[in-house]
Amino acid sequence: MNESRRRSILCPGCRRLISGDEQVCPYCGISRPGSGITSFIWAGMNAWKQGAIKLIIGANIVLFVISILIGIKGTSFSIQPFSFLAPGNKVLILLGATGVFPIDSLHRWWTLVSANYLHGGLLHLVFNMLAFSQLGTLATREYGTSRMFVIYTAGGAAGFLISYVAGVSLTIGASAAICSLIGSMLYYGRSRGGVYGDLVYRRIGGWAVGIFLFGLLVPGINNWGHGGGLAAGIGLGYVLGYEEKRRESHLHRTLGGICAVLTMAVLFWASGSTIYYLVSGI
Ligand SMILES: [Zn+2]
């Protein structure tokens, strides 16, 4: 008798009760809902959906801690606010700072991704993460997690690509990616319109003006990266669309997944190769 093999499970995709023998969930259509691999993948996706902002902030903090610990000898403990807990340039280059030098001399194109997760000091990190937690939450609400992360990742890389073309030799920081989120929210506000759209547009527009004024007044800010990220974010918002206009599709989830795998691979490679380089003492 096969009776004992029949079991009911909760579909990992839609959380409805179905038979574990189904090849396709009759409610949400995901294939092989009873297999261990399917539930593993969906568990990961649900955790990501609920905690993407925290995970991204966590990755930035982990990379910052690594950069401080690895470069402890070169770390600045100056009490000047912008250089307190500042890892040295050598460590930042090893961990994947981007620009003309790393790309042309070291052929490290992957730094267009890794540089988004590196910061030049504690204050730099805190400012960027405070801005990101607000803008990332807002963008997730209107675009969903997958598209928010595509805008963050691709927009940050695009901003750094433009600053590379413009000749910036060495640069780091999440602000190009944050400017991409700003661009996507400007597009959203303008495209949606109405009372809420206008409110978002004016409020986010204020942020954009603030960032550019800051960039003009404070030396050493990568304005090409900021402007490039902003332009990329407007374009990505237009191409991907927001929830109210176009619901999250399989393509959006796939693109988000590609960005997540690529980012994890680059960050593991960047920190792993740095630790290997230092341990082997070349
Ligand atoms: Zn289902």
Following DSSP, what letter does each residue of 127-184 receive, concatenated?
HHHHHHHHHHHHHHHHHHHHHHHHHHHHHHHHHHHHHHHTT--SB--THHHHHHHHHH
φ, ψ at 184 (rounded to 5°): -65, -35
Tens-digit pLDDT profile for residues 110-161: 999 999 999 988 988 999 999 999 999 999 999 999 999 999 999 999 999 9
Distance 156 CA to ligand 1 centre (A): 35
Distance 5 CA to ligand 1 centre (A): 20
Distance 19 CA to ligand 1 centre (A): 11
Average pLDDT over residues 278-282: 71
Distance 120 CA to ligand 1 centre (A): 45
Give 50: exposed, middle or buried? Use CB within 10 Å, 0-12, 13-18, 19+.
exposed
Distance 243 CA to ligand 1 centre (A): 21
Distance 26 CA to ligand 1 centre (A): 7
Tens-digit pLDDT profile for residues 208-221: 998 888 888 877 78
Q: Write down the pLDDT at residue 79.
A: 52
- Predicted confidence band of residue 41 (pLDDT cuts 50, 70, 90): confident
Q: Write down the pLDDT at residue 40.
A: 84
- Predicted confidence band of residue 281 (pLDDT cuts 50, 70, 90): low
Distance 143 CA to ligand 1 centre (A): 23
Distance 200 CA to ligand 1 centre (A): 35
Tens-digit pLDDT profile for residues 59-114: 999 999 998 888 766 555 555 555 566 777 888 999 999 999 999 999 999 999 99
Distance 31 CA to ligand 1 centre (A): 9
Distance 29 CA to ligand 1 centre (A): 6
Strand, coil or helix: what is 8? strand
Q: Write down the pLDDT at residue 6.
A: 66
Distance 133 CA to ligand 1 centre (A): 31
**Cβ contacts of 123 within 8 Å, gap of 6 or more:** 81, 82, 84
Distance 257 CA to ligand 1 centre (A): 20
- With a pLDDT cut of 90, the percent of the chain lying above it is 62
Checking if the pLDDT of 195 tops 60, the result is yes
CA–CA distance, 154 with 172 (Å, rounded to integer): 15
Distance 32 CA to ligand 1 centre (A): 10
Q: Write down the pLDDT at residue 1.
A: 44
Distance 6 CA to ligand 1 centre (A): 18
Distance 30 CA to ligand 1 centre (A): 6
Distance 190 CA to ligand 1 centre (A): 36
Q: What one-character DSSP code corresponds to residue 71?
A: T
- Predicted confidence band of residue 39 (pLDDT cuts 50, 70, 90): confident
**CATH code for the structural domain at 51-279:** 1.20.1540.10
Average pLDDT over residues 156-173: 96
CA–CA distance, 229 with 240 (Å, rounded to integer): 16
CA–CA distance, 62 with 281 (Å, rounded to integer): 23
Distance 240 CA to ligand 1 centre (A): 26
How far, in Å, are 90, 92, 204, 224, 225 from residue 86 at the CA level? 12, 10, 29, 23, 21
> Residues with beta carbon < 5 A to ion ligand 1?
11, 13-14, 25, 27-28
Beta bridge partners of 17: 10
- Predicted confidence band of residue 180 (pLDDT cuts 50, 70, 90): very high
Give the range among 3-7, 123-127, 257-261 with minimum mean pLDDT: 3-7
Q: What is the rounded average pLDDT for all residues in the chain? A: 89
